[in-house]
Structure 1
């Protein structure tokens, strides 16, 4: 009986880990495929398609219009959706200029900063220092092949937006649940679509572009979201967060396989330092209290 229970727990853990890794592979593959389409409709066009189609898919599933949003939550919800839209724009502008693994490595500094802000322990500040060291190594002064500083700034902007997304999301998710993400994506799409249309024009409505946008939205949002839910049911929060801290490394692999993006030794070391900081912070936070999904480092919807 005990052996059967142990086997069941082990099996659940393995399934949860597989779901978490599947989520990361799907999300990063979506980013890689998006980058392949940049020469056709640009980063702004891809952002508009991804956010708008993801909003349509999630709204069709969740049907947020069936429930009323309290009036007092409207300002926070609008801020949440605006941050979501700007975060996606910033991320895609970053990967248009710098390798995917580096962009994600910088972006995860946002959740890390939020975790450290809620802590007063020396260990967490040490993790922040390790992450800062990784960021310094990524600055365009430490390599014979420096990365685009504008891309770094966009990635930092995405990190700031991710931190704000967490802080705003804590307010709206408790009251609205899944409706918060669906409505937030609608607001984000309202920001991204005009920018994308101004950049790509009617190309956005070409049938094959729409089909590609659907595939990217599924890979970047719908599939990862489903797998994350499965992983969170089976894994402790700190284990889930630790697995997700590997996202920059997976992004680097996807970038190499799909796009031929190569990292220098210094850039790889920088990503490793940021991953260690993110994973260590997740474990440290789990020892203090269980993390809600927003603070566990879940990738953006």
Structure 2
């Protein structure tokens, strides 16, 4: 049955945005980079305990891939949280989704797929109220950087996934990312890292934002077609906007809500175009 799997994906999205909301609430204590450090450290610990990766038998190219993947992880999370410090959660996630959206449009290699890019652009313009006057410019730049990093994350993840079995590559890359984030996080958070309640909340953010959603997605992918899963993941901006409203009191205008809807529609359309292109390429020639 697909209904439980769909509910797992939705629950995973909800966990991610609740985790992001808690992170925003912790910014006054630890700062965005301190939060990134806590999230990556606890995520790395959990993954290392689960995967227990083998470090022998891999080439120099494999390890280069892991280091680059870890760098992308640290950069993506850092830019995302820096954007969250300046922008509403729903707006940040909507802009970030543009990274994988553009990647899927390029992968489709169909002229019609670029119609979805135009639709997404209209949605992003709507997010700014038509003139971006309501959005922090630096926050928008951070969010766009996170979008680009997410696209590189997908490419780096595929490369490392081919070289390392199961979760080994992700666990090692997350460890590299945590090490990279460590000095920036300590500088940003300072003495707040000595408070047990702050560390505990950082662990909760890691579980909600990374561990639990990943487990739910892994289970769901065994029961759902990849295209259906990708379409469900396109709903992330909507769940982010809802979480921002409930937990952070972030109200959005109808124009911004319409912008989120357009980006979601573009994401779904791009996924369908990409899936159609892949199926056509797989068809044998007569």
| Normalised TM-score (structure 2) | 0.93
Change (3 A) 1:140 1:199: farther
1:266 equivalent in alignment to 2:266: no
Is contact 2:43-2:210 (8 Å) kept?
yes
1:153 equivalent in alignment to 2:154: no
The DSSP-based 3-state class of the residue aligned with 2:86 is coil
Question: How far 1:286 sits from its partner (Å)?
Answer: 1.8
Is contact 1:239-1:283 (8 Å) kept?
no
Is contact 2:17-2:209 (8 Å) kept?
yes
- CA distance in structure 1 between the aligned counterparts of 2:161 and 2:5, rounded to whole angstroms: 23
The DSSP-based 3-state class of the residue aligned with 1:142 is coil
The DSSP-based 3-state class of the residue aligned with 2:108 is coil
Choose from 6, 15, 29 the match for 2:4: 15
Match of 1:9 in 2: none
1:165 equivalent in alignment to 2:130: no
- CA distance in structure 2 between the aligned counterparts of 1:184 and 1:266, rounded to whole angstroms: 39
Per-residue Cα deviation, 1:140-185 (whole angstroms, up to 9, x for no partner):
7537x60111111111000000111111222111121311111111
Question: How far 1:119 sits from its partner (Å)?
Answer: 2.2
1:86 equivalent in alignment to 2:40: no
Match of 2:122 in 1: 133
Choose from 31, 42, 47 the match for 2:31: 42
Per-residue Cα deviation, 1:39-86 (whole angstroms, up to 9, x for no partner):
111111111101111011111110114554322222222111101100
RMSD of aligned Cα (Å) = 1.5
Is contact 1:85-1:189 (8 Å) kept?
yes
- CA distance in structure 2 between the aligned counterparts of 1:270 and 1:17, rounded to whole angstroms: 25
1:191 equivalent in alignment to 2:180: yes
- CA distance in structure 2 between the aligned counterparts of 1:125 and 1:110, rounded to whole angstroms: 14
- CA distance in structure 2 between the aligned counterparts of 1:41 and 1:63, rounded to whole angstroms: 30
- CA distance in structure 2 between the aligned counterparts of 1:52 and 1:140, rounded to whole angstroms: 38
Per-residue Cα deviation, 1:164-210 (whole angstroms, up to 9, x for no partner):
11112221111213111111111111121110101111321321111
Per-residue Cα deviation, 1:98-129 (whole angstroms, up to 9, x for no partner):
11111010001111111112122122111111
Choose from 266, 272, 278 the match for 1:277: 266
Is contact 2:128-2:256 (8 Å) kept?
no
Match of 2:215 in 1: 226
- CA distance in structure 2 between the aligned counterparts of 1:167 and 1:186, rounded to whole angstroms: 19
Q: How many pairs align? A: 278
| Normalised TM-score (structure 1) | 0.89
Question: How far 1:137 sits from its partner (Å)?
Answer: 2.5
Is contact 1:41-1:204 (8 Å) kept?
yes
Q: Which runs of 5+ in 2 are unaligned?
A: 280-286
The DSSP-based 3-state class of the residue aligned with 1:147 is coil
